[in-house]
Structure 1
Amino acid sequence: MSHAPTKPKIAISACLLGHDVRYDGGHKESRLCSRTLADYFDFVPVCPEVAIGLGIPRQPIRLVGNAEKPQALGTRDLTLDVTQPLAAYGQKMAAELGDICGYIFMHKSPSCGLERVKVYHANGAPIDAGGRGIYAQAFCLQQPDLPVEEDGRLNDPVLRENFLTRVFAYSAWQQLRHTGLTRRSLTDFHSRYKYLLMAHNPVQYKTLGHLLGNMAHTDPQEIGPRYFSELMATLKKCATRRTHSNVLQHLCGYLKQAISHEDKQEVQQVISQYRLGIVPLVVPLTLLKHHFRQHPDPYIAQQVYLQPHPENLSLRNAL
């Protein structure tokens, strides 16, 4: 009996899954997370404020002081200072959640927000600069390569596709580490990610290749983590219609002996329509996949670019 592949784990602010853990006793359910993504990922819900002993309901907290290094204080009782407990819990969870492949944080939250969280002067007036939630800041410092995103930004199709591409890449890397880092396995991994990296950042793709090219006298255990950090940084840059079109043209090159003149013209026309914003990315990709099914190429067959996430998520229909 074959085991179904385990779903990648994603940590998530518990309120986004509909848990009633907010200061007012409510939640902020994200249907994208609780309905759509829940089929593809195992969610690990976390609410740092409840975890450090704040009750439900509770007086809200907010960030006060310097935007770079704010404190988390009670809005009614300024002697309530949970800065240290939230930071400590962030470090603790970053160590405990070693097997997650991503984290979805609640936006604007003084504990979980990733950016532009409101910070106030001691007198209650807002500061112009935004800050980062105390828990999120401590967590991300410990796991700098982990794909993280805020719930609100996931409504943007480009950011959503980018985040989930990184989550699946992170998961693939965890599997590689589990089976063992060797020079061969690192080179194969890079080879599979060639066109995906090229779509995100063509210059950085070359840099990563050079890093592995100089591996002859280096321990894969040492170069592997460096390679992976740079890979994740590269994938963070969103691919564009221009870079995708460039990759689609590269893929076409593998069909030039195999398909007819008319078929080539059709492929070129569809790529051009995609580049101009007339059709989404799924259209030229579907056509190319059709031709590669009829004329298989072993190198193209292993390219992550063709399927960086499950097809049923339809992430490329809106790109």
Structure 2
Amino acid sequence: METKIKIGISACLLGENVRYDGQNALARHITGPLAEYLDFYPICPEVGCGMGVPREPVRLVGTLENNKLMGRESGKDWTGIMRTWAEKTLPQIEEKQLCGFIFKAKSPSSGMCRIKIYPEEGGQPNSYAGTGLFAGMLMERYPLLPVEDEGRLHDIVLRGNFIERLFVEHRWNKMLASGRNMKNIIDFHSRHKMLIRSHDVTLYRALGKLVGEGKHMGLEKLFESYHALMSTALAKKPTIKKNVDVLMHIMGYFKKLLTTDEKKECLELIGNYKTNLLPLIVPVTLMNHYVRKYDVAYLNEQYYLNPHPLELKLRNHA
């Protein structure tokens, strides 16, 4: 990679001692293997808005629809203070061209989902479906930005999908930097066709139609609409069924080139993947072999066959 992918992250996950107890929550499954490819931009909203270290822990109080960020013992209301700080800080996400954000799970300020909300009169939580105050503001302002929390990233499927989206977003930003024109978006879409299809075939077709009609709608609207639709598609997890569809589609490009034995081998490996006997990396590796052997230029440019570095091993278990 020429440049690393810029990504926001809760500061405690990088090992910074900014938690309420003066400790950190170093996430080695994130900072280890991904550090070679990601440029982390740490943010701690609690320290950022003026809370000290160590400090009184906070929690969400109220209802799912209407809650506040309050001190557990003192009852101090930090909602307005954090909102004011966040409004000044959030524009940096766009200014720094961050391609995603990793939140601290279960945090009342940074948790993206399943946050406890306590009743005002005290007692046990009345909801476990809240969103951290800062995380909620970030996701509302940048609804297309790939986001996850470090807890969910232990799941290999969620992890693979998130990392894949980061790489696509990174390539999208690089394409924008080279100019918003029809040539660039046609090339971008052409190289991502198979990848998008593996997430949602309906939206894949809609994106193709959008690019085909793009010259009649104006570049600004075209790029905005494409990014929104693409992000929606990529947010949907690939499944074995979807990948089998793409693999069979790729195999169609070789139908006049493969020998009888080669076709048999392809179908056998795809079938074993379909029945969960082999990980995705096996049939994809074979497809890459035939792309090189038969010099199929169109497939050689498809990011589906090489969406991220092999060293991350994201397709070795799916």
Q: TM-score by structure 1 length?
A: 0.96
Aligned pair partner of 1:14 in 11, 18, 27: 11
Any conservation in 2 of the 1:64–1:71 contact (CA below 8 Å)?
Answer: yes
Matched, 1:122 2:81: no
Q: Is contact 1:274-1:281 (8 Å) kept? A: yes
**Residue in structure 2 matched with residue 194 of structure 1 by the alignment:** 193
Q: Secondary structure at the match of 2:41?
A: strand
Partner Cα distance (2:258, 2:92) in 1:
52
Instruction: Choose the corresponding residue for 1:59, options 29, 46, 56.
Output: 56
CA contact (8 A) 1:282 1:316 kept: yes
Q: Deviations over 1:132-185 (max 9, x none)?
A: 000111111111111000100001010000001111111111111101111221
Note the alpha carbon deviations across 1:209-239, whole angstroms, 9 max, x for none.
Answer: 2222222322112210111011011000001
In structure 1, distance between residues paired with 2:23 and 2:182: 51
SS class of match (1:119)? strand
Q: Give distance in 1, aligned partners of 2:93 and 2:295.
A: 40
Higher mean alpha-carbon deviation, 199-208 vs 126-135, is at 126-135
- Other structure's SS at 1:239 match: coil
Q: CA deviation at 1:112?
A: 0.3
Q: Name the residue aligned to 1:223.
A: 222
Secondary structure (helix, strand or coil) at the match of 1:290 reads helix
Whole-angstrom CA distance in 2 between matches of 1:90 and 1:241: 40
Q: CA deviation at 1:129?
A: 4.5
AA aligned to 1:71 is K
The 1-side partners of 2:4 and 2:240 are apart by: 30
Tell me which residue corresponds to 1:251.
Answer: 250
Which residue, 71, 86, 99 being the options, matches 1:90? 86
Deviation at residue 193 of structure 1 after TM alignment: 1.0
Which secondary structure state, in structure 2, belongs to the residue aligned with residue 73 of structure 1?
Answer: strand
Give the match for residue 299 of structure 1.
298
The one-letter code matched in structure 2 to 1:122 is E
Equivalent residue of 1:71, what SS?
Answer: strand
- Whether contact under 8 Å (1:89, 1:135) holds in the other structure is no
**Aligned 8 A contact 1:14 1:46 in 2:** yes
Structure 2: give runs of 5+ residues left out of the alignment. none
Paired letter, 1:225: E
Q: TM-score, structure 2 length as denominator?
A: 0.96
2:39 alignment partner in structure 1 = 42
* Alignment correspondent of 1:278: 277
**Among 96, 105, 115, the residue aligned to 1:107:** 105
* 1:31 is aligned to 2:5: no
Matched, 1:132 2:128: no
Q: Is the 8 A contact 2:64 2:117 kept in 1?
A: yes
Hey, what does 1:68 align to over in structure 2?
A: 65
Tell whether the 8 Å contact from 2:63 to 2:127 is kept in structure 1 after alignment. no
Alignment correspondent of 1:157: 156
Q: Over the residues paired in the alignment, what is the CA RMSD in angstroms?
A: 1.1
SS in 1 for 2:33: helix
Percentage of identical aligned residues: 39
- Superposed, which structure 2 residues align to 1:147-186 within 5 Å? 147-186=146-185
Aligned equivalents of 1:284, 1:89: Cα separation in 2: 49
Write the distance in 1 (CA, Å) between the matches of 2:128 and 2:23.
Answer: 28
- Quote the residue 2:205 is aligned against: 206
